[in-house]
A and B are shown apart, each in its own frame.
Chain A
Amino acid sequence: MTIALSILLWTLAFLAHTQRQPRILRLLGQHKAFAPGILLLVSILLPAAALGACLAAYGGVGLEYWIGTMTLGGVIAAMGLTVQASRSEHPSKQP
């Protein structure tokens, strides 16, 4: 449960981070970030919350879980972005 939560928090944090990056927004066909201040806060707070959850559940070795779930969260976020970017590049692929 904690692992799933940590993966979710990392995924959301990564997505929030990418929504602040002009280059990524261009790839996604967007022009402006929505509430960049809030996104910045989210991209900092969610990993911290994930760290807290991992440490609370697993003690000191929770750090290893936190790092491992970061990789998984990053992969999930990257896959989502890749799909979204490929759709925005090719409008014909949109449902």
Chain B
Amino acid sequence: MTRVATDTLRGRMGWLHRWVGFLGGLVILVIFAGGTLTSFDTEIGRWMQPEIQRTTRIPLSDTLVEAARARVETLRQQGQNASIDLPTERDPVLRIRYGKADAAVKEALDPETGDALHARQTVGGQFFYDLHFTLDLGHDLGRQVVDCAGIALLVAIGSGLVIHLRSLFSDLLIFRPFAARPRAWMDLHVLSGILVLPFLISTAYTGVVAHSGAILPDLRGGHQPPEKAVSYDIPDLRPILAQAERIYGPGHVGSLLFGRNGVTATRADSATFLLMRDEADFSPTGELRRTVHHGDAVSISQQAFRGVHFARWVPLPLRWMYFGSGLAGAGLMTSGLILFLLRYRRTKEKDALFAVAETLAMTVILGFPASALFLLWMNRLLPIDFPMRSLWEWRSFFAMAVTVFTGALIGSFRRKSLFAWRGFLAWIGCLGLALPLLDSLTRPGWTAHLGANVFVAVDVVAALAGVAALYAWTRLPPGRQA
């Protein structure tokens, strides 16, 4: 009888959804939460450099462009491969980027005087982008793992749809938070899944396609031989910028790259929905040599996929919608992991494997927010001129993750997991709720910026995360299991 009952498409999909969802979900939740924060990576980066308080972009002055040119020239003489990121609406200062790709230094210059702003070195919002992109496992392995996780997410979505298809429309929007906990978590799982289904599918699919090269062989042939290097002094950048703006439109030049034999101006990613990466190449003397436009059908498809996934073009309201949908997606994954634990707790609670599962689930569900908030705290608590500051910020994130893992491990194996769940929820609550206070104490001139800006936004979101954690803490009174 049991065999007949489970040997149906729905039964099989249930098994698939449960296991792919749990094992994949442990990784996917980190990727998804990292991606959600990446919606505002530039703004988080600005919060992490409170010395830079400019909020609006002003036109590039000749002084600034010349200062940038001089700084790049100096860095090149020191053997650094430097480039210039031009100001945007989201990041209104010019930045000189140099160093390794995964640990780039981004010096900010004052838009009016061209002087270095001496902002603190930080991992910035780029940290969450890298976490989302490679899980910090290195460029190749990381992309492969993330791409496989993206495929697992698509499998989990597909199998989840088959399971719930029958009641998808009749139970739409049912949420009973005060019902028995498995029912309440299942309602939350289904509700969040339905409401962000288009977003989930589009981000998972476009993410997998955008980085399909990580797991599929590149059949386009070998690499082009590198161009012959020419020694040159950086030319006057003003005519180059003027010409690039004529090609891409005012304010739509993204970066200036200084290659082996000339200067390249790229179109800003935020310029259009399609993430084009068009280029205009200039000679060492500043004459336009060629423009590169990827306009074939395959390229446009890729640009559309990347445009949807990277969302560099989206205006603020839509960016918040990406963020909110990302949070709802994280809620979907969290509730899925908890449902898995609830299903097996009664029968397998004494098994070591169950303790491992609970440890891992607790680490990703509570470890990520705790580590992200702790990173923001350390960004403000470490002295501005602390040696290897960015590295210590990076270490602080993973130190907190390891702390949560250790606490979860001890709690789960000693069968006191509830104590660990409650303890870390309270910790997240404290970190989140106190972050605005920390910001006000450690940000120079904070009273001058009480309006709507990135500082207030980050503070409010952190405080709300704290409130949510404390609410969960109150819903998990001592003596009950998660």
Contact = CB atoms under 8 A, between A and B. Distances in A.
A69 B317 CA distance: 10
B68 interface: no
Given A71-B324, A72-B324, A64 B173 contact: no
Given A60-B273, A64-B314, A71 B174 contact: no
Contact of A3 (B195, B196, B313, B317): B317
B311 to A, nearest CB: 9
A74 interface: yes
A65 B173 contact: no
Chain B interface residue bracket vs A? 20 to 34
B117 interface: no
A86 B328 CA distance: 22
Interface in A63-95: 64-65, 67-72, 74-75, 77-78, 81-82, 85-86, 89
Given A64-B314, A65-B321, A68-B322, A14 B173 contact: yes
Interface string B264-279: 0000000001000000
A72 B313 CA distance: 21
A65 B318 contact: yes
Contacts of B321: 64-65, 68-69, 71-72
A24 B314 contact: no
A48 interface: no
Contacts of A86: 178
B187 to A, nearest CB: 9
A35 interface: no
Interface in A1-54: 3, 14, 17-18, 21-24, 27
A14 B196 CA distance: 14
Contacts of B198: 67, 70
A23 B273 contact: no
A78 B273 CA distance: 32
Contact of B174 (A24, A60, A70): A24
Interface string B285-329: 000000000000000000000001000011001100110110010
A71 B325 contact: yes
Contact of B318 (A22, A23, A64, A85): A64
Contacts of B313: 61
Contacts of A23: 170-171, 174
B199 interface: yes
A3 B196 CA distance: 17
Interface residues of A, number: 28
Contacts of A22: 170
B172 A82 contact: no
Contacts of A64: 308, 314, 318, 321
Contact of B195 (A18, A61, A70, A82): A70
A60 B304 CA distance: 12
Contacts of A89: 178
Contacts of A85: 176
Q: Which of A21, A61, A68 has the most CB of B within 10 A?
A: A68
Contacts of A68: 199, 318, 321-322, 324-325
Q: Which of A18, A60, A70 has the most CB of B within 10 A?
A: A70
Q: Which of A14, A60, A64, A82 has the most CB of B within 10 A?
A: A64
B398 interface: no
A69 B198 CA distance: 12
Given A81-B175, A89-B178, 17 more contacts: A14-B173, A17-B173, A18-B173, A21-B169, A21-B172, A23-B170, A24-B174, A60-B273, A65-B317, A67-B199, A68-B324, A70-B198, A71-B199, A72-B321, A74-B194, A77-B173, A78-B175
Interface of B: 169-178, 191, 194-196, 198-199, 202, 273, 308, 313-314, 317-318, 321-322, 324-325, 328
5 contacts: A17-B173, A23-B170, A60-B273, A78-B191, A81-B174
Interface of A: 3, 14, 17-18, 21-24, 27, 60-61, 64-65, 67-72, 74-75, 77-78, 81-82, 85-86, 89
